[in-house]
Amino acid sequence: MKVVIDQHKCVASGQCVLTAPEVFDQREEDGIVVLLTETPPEGLVDDVRQAAALCPAQAIWVKEQAEE
**Domain spans, the chain:** 2-63
Q: What is the pTM of this model?
A: 0.92
Closest by CA position to 55, among listed 32, 39, 38, 36: 32
Condensed to tens digits (0 to 9), the pLDDT of residues 11-56 reads: 999 999 999 999 999 999 999 999 999 999 999 999 999 999 999 9
- The CATH classification number of 2-63 equals 3.30.70.20
**66 band by pLDDT with thresholds 50, 70 and 90:** low
Looking at the predicted structure, is the pLDDT value of residue 9 above 90? yes
Rounded Cα distance, 53 and 61, in Å: 9
DSSP H or E run through 51: helix 45-54
Q: Kindly compute the dihedral angle of the four CA atoms of residues 58, 11, 32, 38, in this order, to the nearest 10 degrees.
A: 0
The pLDDT score that the predictor gives to residue 20 is 98
Q: What confidence score (pLDDT) does residue 67 get?
A: 55
Residue 65 has pLDDT above 80, yes or no: no
C-alpha closest to that of 51 among 16, 23, 17 = 16
